[in-house]
């Protein structure tokens, strides 16, 4: 992936995530709360060296995570995630991609990086509108 600063979540988001993590043991989270947790847990994977390849090779619930990004309005992430879905059926080692596949994935990851730039604002907006 392109070199990108690791996202630092605003204090409000960190506090809410901590609260949701402790409450999840006592109750089922709402769809909006689950979406926030999905996003929070997925961002480090999307900012890792293997980025989209690692996301698709992980044991995460991919469709639920994509739906979570969509729920908060992060289409700048939904589109690249969907465009890279083919990585799910690829070899475990990203180094095994053909040059064409590697170039295509790099282009998708550029689009993903642009979407990541607005994610923090979208999450804050979602919290204000849906969680208040």
Residue 7 pLDDT > 90, yes or no? Answer: no
pLDDT for the residue 54: 94
Question: Residues 8-22: what's their mean pLDDT?
Answer: 94
Question: Residues 113-131: what's their mean pLDDT?
Answer: 93
pLDDT band, very low/low/confident/very high, at 1 (cuts 50, 70, 90) = very low
Dump pLDDT digits (tens) for 19-57: 999 999 999 999 999 999 999 999 999 999 999 999 999
Cβ proximity of 69 and 81 under 8 Å: yes
Q: How far apart are the first and last CA of the chain?
A: 35
pLDDT for the residue 2: 47
Q: Which residue has the tokens 């919290």?
A: 127
Residue 63 pLDDT > 60, yes or no? Answer: yes
Query: What DSSP assignment string belongs to 53-106?
Result: HHHHHSSS-HHHHHHHHHHTT-HHHHHHHHHTGGGGGS-S-GGGS-HHHHHHHH
pLDDT for the residue 93: 86
Residue 4 pLDDT > 60, yes or no? Answer: no
Dump pLDDT digits (tens) for 89-103: 987 888 899 999 999
Question: Residues 53-76: what's their mean pLDDT?
Answer: 95
Q: What three-state secondary structure class fits 12?
A: helix
Cβ proximity of 17 and 120 under 8 Å: no
């Amino acid at each position: 992936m392109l070199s990108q600063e690791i996202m630092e979540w605003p204090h409000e988001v960190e506090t809410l995530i901590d609260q949701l993590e402790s409450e999840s043991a006592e109750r089922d989270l709402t769809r909006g709360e689950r979406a926030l947790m999905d996003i929070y847990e997925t961002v480090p994977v999307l900012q890792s060296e293997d980025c989209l390849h690692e996301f698709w090779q992980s044991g995460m619930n991919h469709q639920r995570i994509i739906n979570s990004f969509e729920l908060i309005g992060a289409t700048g992430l939904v589109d690249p995630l969907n465009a890279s879905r083919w990585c799910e059926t690829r070899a475990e080692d990203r180094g095994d991609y053909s040059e064409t596949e590697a170039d295509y994935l790099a282009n998708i990851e550029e689009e993903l990086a642009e979407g990541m730039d607005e994610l923090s604002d979208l999450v804050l907006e979602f919290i204000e509108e849906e969680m208040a």
